[in-house]
C-alpha cells in the first residue's frame, strides 16, 4: 500500500473531479454533483483524504473523519477506468488502519438505499447494517425517486503494534 498517501490542499480540485466522476453512476436518481469547491474544502478541514495516484491524476480516494472513539468513512471513489481493480478495497483497508491508529474502535459509513450494489460490497468488507435515516434535502439535492441513508458499521479492534525497524 505504499502508493497510498494523504491528499494535500492543492489537490482539492482533483479530489472534487475524481469524486464527481466516480459518483456519476448516481445520475439515475439525483441531478447534482456529489462535491463542489465549498463542500470539498469542508471535508478537507474536518478529516483526511487517503488517495492513490499522482498529484495531477488521482485514481482513488476515501475520506476519514475521527468522531471520538468512532470514525466515519465516506466518499470512497475510484476512477471509472480503475474500478474492479481492488483499489477501493485497499483504500477502505488503509482508512480502517488509519482510524484504528487514531484510537477509533468502530468505522461507520452511510450509503444511499437505491445504490443496491453497495450493501453487498461493504458486507464483504465486514460492515453490517446498523440503521436507516432520512437524507436531508439540502444534502442530496433534487432526486427523481424516494431514497434514504442506510447506516453501516464495522468494529475495528485495537491498533496493531508497530514493529521496530
- Residues 129/151, Cβ–Cβ less than 8 Å: yes
pLDDT value at residue 35: 86
- Rounded to whole angstroms, how far apart are CA atoms 43 and 27? 22
- Rounded to whole angstroms, how far apart are CA atoms 162 and 147? 43
CATH superfamily of 4-155: Gcn5-related N-acetyltransferase (GNAT) (3.40.630.30)
pLDDT tens for 128-147 read 999 999 987 776 667 778 88
pLDDT tens for 62-87 read 999 999 999 999 999 999 998 889 99
pTM of this prediction exceeds 0.85:
yes
pLDDT tens for 25-51 read 888 887 777 888 998 999 999 999 999
| pLDDT bucket at 159, cuts 50 / 70 / 90 | low
pLDDT tens for 97-135 read 999 999 999 999 999 999 999 999 999 999 999 999 998
- Residues 149/134, Cβ–Cβ less than 8 Å: yes
Instruction: Specify the DSSP class assigned to residue 9.
Output: G
Domain boundaries, the chain: 4-155
| pLDDT at residue 12 greater than cutoff 50 | yes
- Residues 77/18, Cβ–Cβ less than 8 Å: yes
CB neighbour burial string for 40-79, b if at least 16 within 10 angstroms, e if fewer: beebbeebbbbbbbeeeebbbbbbbbbeeebbbbbbbbbb
Specify the 3-state DSSP secondary structure of 158: coil
Amino acid at each position: 500500500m505504499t502508493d497510498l498517501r494523504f491528499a494535500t490542499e492543492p489537490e482539492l480540485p482533483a479530489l472534487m473531479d475524481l469524486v464527481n466522476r466516480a459518483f456519476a453512476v448516481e445520475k439515475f436518481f439525483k441531478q447534482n454533483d456529489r462535491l463542489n469547491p465549498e463542500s470539498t474544502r469542508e471535508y478537507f478541514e474536518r478529516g483526511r483524504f487517503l488517495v492513490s495516484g499522482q498529484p495531477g491524476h488521482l485514481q482513488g480516494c476515501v475520506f476519514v473523519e475521527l468522531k471520538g472513539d468512532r470514525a466515519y468513512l465516506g466518499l470512497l471513489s475510484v476512477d471509472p477506468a480503475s474500478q474492479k481493480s481492488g483499489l477501493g478495497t485497499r483504500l477502505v483497508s488503509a482508512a480502517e488502519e488509519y482510524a484504528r491508529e487514531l484510537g477509533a474502535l468502530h468505522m461507520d459509513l452511510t450509503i444511499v438505499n437505491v445504490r443496491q450494489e453497495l450493501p453487498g460490497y461493504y458486507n464483504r468488507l465486514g460492515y453490517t447494517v446498523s440503521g436507516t435515516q432520512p437524507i436531508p434535502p439540502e444534502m442530496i439535492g433534487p432526486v427523481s425517486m424516494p431514497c434514504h441513508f442506510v447506516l453501516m458499521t464495522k468494529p475495528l479492534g485495537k491498533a496493531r503494534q508497530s514493529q521496530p525497524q
